[in-house]
C-alpha cells in the first residue's frame, strides 16, 4: 500500500524551477533513498512535502489523504516526522527535554492546567519522561539524557534528532542527509539503526543522502533527482547502471 | 529562600516608608519582568511593547476606578485584561515579524501609545494624568501602603509560582523550541501562531496587572512613566537577570530597582547605568546573573519538565 505519494510536485522560486513535476510513490515499510547532484532539488522536495514551503503545483498524499496546503505544524501532526540537514537540536534544553518536546502533539496539557500544576499534568509529564527515555534508549543515547542539547557532538545531535522524531510514532520519517559528517563506524551504526526503525517500529523512511555507501546498503529503492526532475528510480543496481544517472553525476562524455 | 520570604513578609514592621515603597516597586516589577521574560527570554521574541502595556494597565485601572467609580479589586484585574487584549491585538501583526523588524515595530507601538496617553485628554487627562485616591483595604490592612504591599506580594508570589509551573511543561518546552528554531518547532507539530500568541498574552496580562499596582502605589498615572526609559529599564531587567529564566527575572527586577534607587539623586545616570548594564551583560555575561548562579551553585537546575517523583 502506498504510504507517501507525491503527484506532479512542483516548486518555483521566482523564475527558478526547483522542482519540476516529481512523482513519488513510497510503499508502506520501505526505506527509500533520494539522491542527486547538488542543486538537484532534494531538500526542496522534503520542504515541499513537509509544508515548510508550499508547493506551487501538485499534491502530497499521506495514507491516501491530501496533506499539501496544510500548515507545516498540521502536516507534522498528521504523522510526518523529519530531521534536518544542519542539526536542529534545541540548545538551552537537555537532551531528554528535546525528546520530550517531540511528544508535544501527543500531550494535552493546557496552559492553565500547567500553570496550576494539576495532577493530570504530573501524570502526563511522568509518562512523557518514560517515553522519551525509552526513545533515547532505542537509539543508544540514554546516558546523555541530562546534557544540554547544544553540548553534543554533531553525530550525537543527529541521533538524538532521530529519537526526537521517533518518539512521535510517525507514519513516515524523512531524513535529510543523516550521515553527513559521520565517521565510517558511525555510518554503519546508522545503517543498523535505520533497519531497526523499520523492523521494530514499522516506520516508512524516506532518506536524502550523499553517502552512497549508506544509500546503496540500506535503501530498498532509490529515486534520482537532477535539476528538479526525477530521472531514474529503482534498486541500487538498476540506478547505478542507468546511463542518465551516470551522466547527471559525471557529465556527458565529449564527442570527439 | 525561606529567609527571603520572611524578610519580605515582615518588611512593613521594620522598614521606613521609603524602603516599603522600594520593596513594593521591586515586587511589582518582578510580576512584569517574569512575564516579559516568557516572551523575550523563553520564546525569543525581541518585542518591546510591554512598557506601553504597563501603561495601558495603569491607565485602564485608573480610568475605571476614577472615571467610572469601580472598586480597586475590579479595576485592577480589568486593567490587566485590557492590557492583555491590547497585547494580543499587537501580537496579530507582530506574529509575522521576527528579529529587528519586530523590535522596530514594537518600539514604534510603545511611542505611539505614549502619544495617545499624552493627547487623549478626555480619557487620560493629557500630561497632567489621572489622580487616584488611596485604595481602602478596610479591615484587611491599617493603611493603604501596607494593604498594597501585601496585595503586591501575594500577586507576585502567585505569578512566580504559576509561571514556574508553566515553563516546566510542554508549554515551556514549546516556547524554547520556537526560540531555538521555528522550522524545527513546526516539524514537531508545535503551532507557532498559537504559542507565540500565548506568550504575548501572558506577558501583556502580567504587565497590565503590574501597571494597576503601580498606579495605586504612586496615586497618580502620568504619561512619562511609560516612555522609552521604561522600555530600556524592563529590557535591562530581563537581560541582566538572565534570559530564559524565571528566577533570573526575579533577580533582574530586584537588582535594577536597587540600582535605580541608589541613583535616585542622579537621575540622568539611571539611563546610562541601565544601558551600560545591558551592554556589559551582552558582551561579557550572556546568561546574565543566572549564569553565575548556574556556574557556582552546584546542582542548581532550571528544568523544562517536571521531575518524576521517586517510586
CATH number of the domain where residue A214 is located: 3.40.50.300
**Percent of chain B topping pLDDT 90:** 69
In a domain, A226, yes or no: yes
Query: What is the β-pairing status of strands A2-13 and A204-208?
Result: unpaired
Judgement on whether residues A57 and A107 belong to the same structural domain of the protein: no
In a domain, A190, yes or no: no
In a domain, A197, yes or no: no
For residues A173-191, give the mean pLDDT: 90
Chain A residues in contact with B175 (beta carbon < 8 A): none
User: Are B252 and B261 a contacting pair, CB within 8 Å?
Assistant: no
Last residue of a domain, one of A164, A199, A230: A164
Give yes or no for residue B1 having a pLDDT over 80.
no
Please tell me which of the candidates A76, A77, A125 has its beta carbon nearest to residue B169.
Answer: A125
Probe site for chain B from A48, A86, A93, A170 (most B CB atoms < 10 A): A93
B102-116, pLDDT tens digit by residue? 999 999 999 999 999
Tell me which chain A residue has its CA closest to the CA of residue B163.
Answer: A115
- Can you give the pLDDT at residue B309? 56
For residues A96-120, give the mean pLDDT: 94
Three-state DSSP class for A162?
Answer: helix
Chain center to CA of B309: 32
CA distance B27 to B20: 11
**Percent of chain A topping pLDDT 90:** 74
CA distance B191 to chain A (A): 6
In a domain, A194, yes or no: no
- For chain A, how long is the longest CA-to-CA vector? 79
**Which of the four pLDDT bands, split at 50, 70 and 90, describes residue B220?**
very high
**Average pLDDT, rounded, for chain B:** 91
CB contact under 8 A, B187 and A122: no
CA distance B201 to B196: 9
Chain A residues in contact with B162 (beta carbon < 8 A): 115-116
**Average pLDDT, rounded, for chain A:** 92
For residues B78-86, give the mean pLDDT: 97
> Number of folded domains in chain A?
2
Lowest mean pLDDT across A245-249, B50-54, B280-284: A245-249
User: Are A170 and A80 a contacting pair, CB within 8 Å?
Assistant: yes
- Can you give the pLDDT at residue A251? 75
Judgement on whether residues A2 and A128 belong to the same structural domain of the protein: no
Judgement on whether residues A74 and A135 belong to the same structural domain of the protein: no
Give yes or no for residue A256 having a pLDDT over 60.
no
Tell me which chain B residue has its CA closest to the CA of residue A148.
Answer: B303
Judgement on whether residues A141 and A37 belong to the same structural domain of the protein: no
Interface contact A220, partner B, CB < 8 A: no
Give yes or no for residue B308 having a pLDDT over 70.
no
CB contact under 8 A, B170 and A101: yes
Three-state DSSP class for B266?
Answer: coil
In DSSP terms, which residues pair with B221 in a beta bridge?
B130
CA distance A157 to A90: 10
Probe site for chain B from A107, A117, A175 (most B CB atoms < 10 A): A117
Judgement on whether residues A153 and A179 belong to the same structural domain of the protein: no
Judgement on whether residues A123 and A223 belong to the same structural domain of the protein: no
Give yes or no for residue B94 having a pLDDT over 80.
yes
Give yes or no for residue A106 having a pLDDT over 70.
yes
Instruction: Return all residues near A188 (Cβ < 8 A) that are at least 6 apart.
Output: none
Lowest mean pLDDT across A41-55, B22-36, B137-151: B137-151
The yes/no answer to whether this complex scores an ipTM above 0.85 is yes
Please tell me which of the candidates B171, B189, B244 has its beta carbon nearest to residue A105.
Answer: B189
Chain B residues in contact with A92 (beta carbon < 8 A): 176, 179-180, 244
For residues A222-240, give the mean pLDDT: 91
User: Are A166 and A200 a contacting pair, CB within 8 Å?
Assistant: no
CB atoms within 10 A of CB B123: 12
- Can you give the pLDDT at residue A255? 57
CB contact under 8 A, B180 and A84: no
Looking at residue A178, the DSSP 8-state letter turns out to be T
Give yes or no for residue A243 having a pLDDT over 90.
no
Rg (CA), chain B: 19
Judgement on whether residues A118 and A232 belong to the same structural domain of the protein: no
**Which of the four pLDDT bands, split at 50, 70 and 90, describes residue B231?**
very high
- Can you give the pLDDT at residue B95? 86
Range of the domain at A158: 90-164
CA distance B46 to B48: 7
CA distance B279 to B285: 10
Chain A residues in contact with B198 (beta carbon < 8 A): 111
CB contact under 8 A, B202 and A77: no
- Can you give the pLDDT at residue B167? 96
In a domain, A204, yes or no: no
CA distance B230 to B223: 11
In a domain, A85, yes or no: no
Probe site for chain A from B169, B203, B245 (most A CB atoms < 10 A): B169
Judgement on whether residues A100 and A159 belong to the same structural domain of the protein: yes
pLDDT: is B201 or B265 the higher one? B201
For residues B124-153, give the mean pLDDT: 86
CA distance A33 to A233: 10
CA distance B155 to chain A (A): 14
Tell me which chain A residue has its CA closest to the CA of residue B310.
Answer: A126
Instruction: Return all residues near B217 (Cβ < 8 A) that are at least 6 apart.
Output: B21, B24, B25, B28, B148, B152
CA distance B102 to chain A (A): 21
In a domain, A191, yes or no: no
Judgement on whether residues A175 and A245 belong to the same structural domain of the protein: yes
Judgement on whether residues A69 and A175 belong to the same structural domain of the protein: yes
- Can you give the pLDDT at residue B150? 93
Quick one: cell of A212?
A: 552512497
- Can you give the pLDDT at residue B264? 87
Sheet holding A229-234, edge to edge: A80-82, A172-176, A204-208, A31-35, A221-226, A229-234
Please tell me which of the candidates B165, B180, B189 has its beta carbon nearest to residue A90.
Answer: B180
**Which of the four pLDDT bands, split at 50, 70 and 90, describes residue A65?**
very high
Judgement on whether residues A53 and A177 belong to the same structural domain of the protein: yes
**Interface of chain B toward chain A, CB-CB under 8 angstroms:** 162-163, 165-166, 168-174, 176-177, 179-181, 183-192, 198, 202, 244, 303-306, 308-309
Give yes or no for residue B292 having a pLDDT over 80.
yes
Chain B residues in contact with A90 (beta carbon < 8 A): 176-177, 180-181, 184
User: Which residue from B223, B225, B221 is spatially nearest to B66, judged by alpha carbons?
Assistant: B221
Instruction: Return all residues near A54 (Cβ < 8 A) that are at least 6 apart.
Output: A48, A68, A69
Chain B residues in contact with A124 (beta carbon < 8 A): 170
For residues B41-60, give the mean pLDDT: 95
Chain B residues in contact with A168 (beta carbon < 8 A): 188-189
**Percent of chain B topping pLDDT 70:** 99
Judgement on whether residues A1 and A72 belong to the same structural domain of the protein: yes
Probe site for chain B from A70, A87, A90 (most B CB atoms < 10 A): A90
Interface contact A216, partner B, CB < 8 A: no
In a domain, A192, yes or no: no
Chain A residues in contact with B40 (beta carbon < 8 A): none
Please tell me which of the candidates A102, A121, A126 has its beta carbon nearest to residue B188.
Answer: A102
pLDDT: is B265 or A80 the higher one? A80
Amino acid at each position: 500500500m502506498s504510504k507517501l505519494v507525491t503527484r506532479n510536485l512542483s516548486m518555483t522560486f521566482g523564475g527558478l524551477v526547483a522542482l519540476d513535476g516529481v512523482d513519488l510513490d513510497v510503499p508502506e515499510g520501505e526505506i527509500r533513498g533520494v539522491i542527486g547532484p547538488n542543486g538537484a532539488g532534494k531538500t526542496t522536495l522534503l520542504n515541499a512535502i513537509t509544508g515548510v514551503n508550499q508547493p506551487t503545483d501538485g499534491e502530497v498524499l499521506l495514507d491516501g489523504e491530501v496533506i499539501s496546503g496544510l500548515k507545516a505544524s498540521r502536516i507534522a501532526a498528521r504523522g510526518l516526522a523529519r530531521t534536518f540537514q544542519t542539526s536542529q537540536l534545541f540548545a538551552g534544553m537537555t537532551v531528554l527535554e528535546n525528546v520530550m518536546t517531540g511528544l508535544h502533539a501527543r500531550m494535552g496539557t493546557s496552559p492553565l492546567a500547567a500553570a496550576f500544576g494539576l495532577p493530570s499534568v504530573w501524570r502526563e509529564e511522568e509518562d512523557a519522561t518514560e517515553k522519551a527515555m525509552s526513545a533515547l534508549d532505542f537509539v543508544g543515547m540514554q546516558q546523555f539524557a541530562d546534557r544540554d542539547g547544544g553540548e553534543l557532538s554533531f553525530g550525537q545531535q543527529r541521533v538524538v534528532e532521530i529519537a526526537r522524531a521517533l518518539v512521535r510514532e510517525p507514519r513516515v520519517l524523512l531524513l535529510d542527509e543523516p550521515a553527513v559528517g559521520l565517521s565510517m563506524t558511525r555510518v554503519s551504526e546508522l545503517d543498523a539503526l535505520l533497519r531497526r526503525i523499520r523492523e521494530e517500529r514499522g516506520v516508512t523512511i524516506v532518506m536524502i543522502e550523499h553517502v552512497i555507501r549508506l544509500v546503496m546498503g540500506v535503501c530498498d529503492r532509490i529515486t534520482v533527482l537532477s535539476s528538479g526532475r526525477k530521472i531514474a528510480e529503482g534498486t541500487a543496481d538498476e540506478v547505478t547502471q542507468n546511463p542518465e544517472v551516470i551522466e547527471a553525476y559525471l557529465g556527458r562524455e565529449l564527442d570527439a | 529562600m525561606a529567609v527571603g520570604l520572611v524578610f519580605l513578609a515582615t518588611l512593613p514592621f521594620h522598614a521606613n516608608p521609603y524602603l516599603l515603597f522600594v520593596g513594593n516597586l521591586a515586587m511589582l516589577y518582578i510580576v512584569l519582568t517574569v512575564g516579559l521574560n516568557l516572551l523575550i527570554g523563553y520564546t525569543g521574541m525581541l518585542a518591546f511593547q510591554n512598557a506601553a502595556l504597563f501603561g495601558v494597565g495603569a491607565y485602564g485601572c485608573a480610568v475605571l476606578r476614577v472615571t467610572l467609580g469601580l472598586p480597586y479589586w475590579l479595576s485592577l484585574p480589568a486593567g490587566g485584561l485590557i492590557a492583555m487584549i491590547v497585547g494580543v491585538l499587537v501580537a496579530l501583526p507582530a506574529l509575522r515579524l521576527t528579529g529587528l523588524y519586530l523590535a522596530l515595530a514594537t518600539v514604534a507601538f510603545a511611542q505611539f501609545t505614549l502619544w495617545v496617553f499624552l493627547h487623549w485628554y478626555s480619557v487620560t487627562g493629557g500630561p497632567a494624568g489621572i489622580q487616584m485616591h488611596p485604595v481602602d483595604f478596610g479591615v484587611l490592612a491599617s493603611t493603604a501602603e501596607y494593604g498594597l504591599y501585601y496585595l503586591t506580594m501575594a500577586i507576585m508570589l502567585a505569578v512566580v509560582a504559576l509561571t514556574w509551573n508553566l515553563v516546566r511543561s510542554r508549554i515551556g518546552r514549546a516556547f524554547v523550541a520556537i526560540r531555538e528554531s521555528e522550522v524545527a518547532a513546526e516539524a514537531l507539530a508545535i503551532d507557532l501562531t498559537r504559542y507565540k500568541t500565548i506568550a504575548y498574552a501572558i506577558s501583556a496580562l502580567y504587565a497590565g496587572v503590574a501597571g494597576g499596582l503601580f498606579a495605586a502605589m504612586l496615586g497618580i498615572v502620568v504619561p512619562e512613566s511609560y516612555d522609552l526609559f521604561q522600555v530600556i529599564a524592563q529590557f535591562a531587567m530581563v537581560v541582566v537577570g538572565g534570559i530564559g529564566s524565571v528566577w533570573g527575572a526575579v533577580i533582574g527586577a530586584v537588582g535594577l530597582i536597587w540600582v535605580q534607587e541608589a541613583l535616585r539623586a542622579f537621575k540622568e545616570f539611571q539611563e546610562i547605568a541601565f544601558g551600560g548594564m545591558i551592554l556589559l551583560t551582552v558582551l561579557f555575561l550572556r546568561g546574565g546573573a543566572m549564569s553565575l548562579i548556574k556556574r557556582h551553585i552546584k546542582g542548581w537546575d532550571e528544568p523544562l519538565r517536571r521531575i518524576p517523583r521517586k517510586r
